[in-house]
Amino acid sequence: MYVAQPIEWTDRGVVILDQRLLPAEEISYTYTDYRDVAKAIREMVIRGAPAIGVAAAMGAALGVLHSSARSVDALAAEFGEICGTLAKTRPTAVDLFWALERMKKRFTELTGHSSDLVKIKQGMVEEAQQVHLEKRAIDEAIGRFGAEFMPREGHVMTQCNAGALATAGIGTALGVIRVAFEQGKKLHVFVPETRPYLQGARLTAWELHKGGIPLTLITDNMVGHFLKTANVGAIVTGADRIAANGDTANKIGTYQIAVLAREHNVPFYIAAPISTFDLSIPDGDHIPIEERAASEVTHLQGVRIAPDVHAAHPAFDVTPARFIAAIFTERGVARAPYTDSLRALASPAQAVKV
Ligand code: MRU
């Protein structure tokens, strides 16, 4: 089945598919400067929590690879700047910070063992590639756990895009749907368009269509209607950050879907890697919510659709844990009380080699 490739490490540089242009055009750029990778993350050339993490890891490796530093100390100072620049791109998806921490840890290991700059650079490139490989294996595992919860046939729903484009693997929420579909479950997916950035209409509809999975595209204000009338068996979305108590930040609009799901007795699931957990914060009130340009609300693909008035654009919202039936991860399924189940899954003893 078709799997989109949003990012790839190549000998020429980091190749990133411009998701802003989908589905009209499939254009990729090759990046050789980490600052341009940071800009690509900020401007949503690449988006989706795990894919942002992969881009940050590759950006960090790119920065080290092309550094002209002549000593480990000079390289370390530059690496600090590289990580700082990449960290300032998008605030909500914790995968970004997870990936940078992982690259910092590897940098410390490499520089602790050797002062050979060529070896250090090579080690950092390998680590970024390893992050990408692991993301792929993680998605497959999430997909297998989550597919069990999908109905044998009938309607399911998602939100935003948590597919291959968003993870650089097979996707988290869409990975679950994809694995269930490949297992022979006859699913039909309701895809809310996900205003204002239209990740549902532009990206999820594109991925499902290319993968041969039946779908119905709906506008965001149709969700209640279809949950009431269309016998939806499950809803599964991705996540950008999951607090210790299970409160989950995901694309704006997810919260209202979860509340409507409760009203209509439809199980609402989250599919996300452990790297999306942020156990350092007790609940969703501590999750920073990215505020994006109001012009993304007043304009649609560059065309003004509203008068010149104040408009708000929080890019994410937080779904309280009590609306979440289960969280699918690569190490298994977390259930309430999440404070216990998330901590258990995150413990190193649970770690699986992927
Ligand atoms: O603003 P975006 O497009 O980066 O937001 C993406 C989402 O909210 C996704 O649902 C989330 O990152 C999970 S991706 C597997």
Question: pLDDT (tens digit, 9 = 90+) per residue, 31-72?
Answer: 999 999 999 999 999 999 999 999 999 999 999 999 999 999
How far is 130 from 135, CA to CA, in rounded Å?
9
- From residue 35, how far is each of 21, 57, 291, 335 by CA, in Å? 21, 13, 22, 40
Instruction: Name which of 219, 228, 207 is nearest 155 in CA terms.
Output: 228
- Using the atom order of ligand 1, give the atom closest to the CA of residue 290: 1
Does 7-140 carry CATH code 1.20.120.420? yes
| Radius of gyration for the alpha carbons in the chain, expressed in angstroms and rounded | 20
Which ranges of the chain does DSSP label H, i.e. alpha helix?
34-42, 49-65, 72-87, 95-113, 117-147, 164-167, 173-182, 205-210, 223-229, 254-263, 295-298, 338-346
**Which residue's CA lies nearest to atom 15 of ligand 1?**
162
**Which residue's CA lies nearest to atom 5 of ligand 1?**
48
Instruction: Report whether pLDDT(354) > 50.
Output: no
Instruction: Report whether pLDDT(348) > 90.
Output: no
- Using the atom order of ligand 1, give the atom closest to the CA of residue 95: 12
How far is 107 from 123, CA to CA, in rounded Å?
8
- Using the atom order of ligand 1, give the atom closest to the CA of residue 199: 3
pLDDT digits (tens, 9 = 90+) for 299-331: 998 899 999 999 999 999 999 999 999 999 999
Token pair for residue 78? 């530059």
Pocket-testing residue among 17, 47, 276, ligand 1, by greatest number of atoms within 8 A of Cβ:
47
How far is 281 from 220, CA to CA, in rounded Å?
30
Predicted confidence at residue 351, as pLDDT, reads 59
pLDDT digits (tens, 9 = 90+) for 114-152: 999 999 999 999 999 999 999 999 999 999 999 999 999
> How far from chain centre, in Å, is Cα 266?
24
Confidence of residue 188 (pLDDT cuts 50, 70, 90): very high
CB-defined site of ligand 1, < 6 Å: 47-50, 93, 160, 162, 166-167, 172, 199, 237-240, 250-251, 315
- CATH architecture group of domain 143-345: 3-Layer(aba) Sandwich (3.40)
CA of residue 162 to ligand 1 center, whole Å: 6
pLDDT digits (tens, 9 = 90+) for 212-266: 999 999 999 999 999 999 999 999 999 999 999 999 999 999 999 999 999 999 9
Pocket-testing residue among 140, 206, 250, ligand 1, by greatest number of atoms within 8 A of Cβ:
250
CA of residue 246 to ligand 1 center, whole Å: 17
pTM assigned to the model: 0.96
Predicted confidence at residue 301, as pLDDT, reads 83
CA of residue 262 to ligand 1 center, whole Å: 22
Domain boundaries, the chain: 7-140, 143-345
CA of residue 241 to ligand 1 center, whole Å: 10
**What are the catalytic residues?**
240
Instruction: Name which of 116, 119, 132 is nearest 59 in CA terms.
Output: 132
Predicted confidence at residue 2, as pLDDT, reads 86
Instruction: Name which of 317, 291, 354 is nearest 91 in CA terms.
Output: 291
Pocket-testing residue among 22, 167, 240, 255, ligand 1, by greatest number of atoms within 8 A of Cβ:
240
Predicted confidence at residue 26, as pLDDT, reads 97
pLDDT digits (tens, 9 = 90+) for 264-301: 999 999 999 999 999 999 999 999 999 999 999 999 98
> How far from chain centre, in Å, is Cα 181?
21
Predicted confidence at residue 353, as pLDDT, reads 52
CA of residue 10 to ligand 1 center, whole Å: 25
Predicted confidence at residue 114, as pLDDT, reads 93
How far is 156 from 44, CA to CA, in rounded Å?
27
CA of residue 66 to ligand 1 center, whole Å: 30
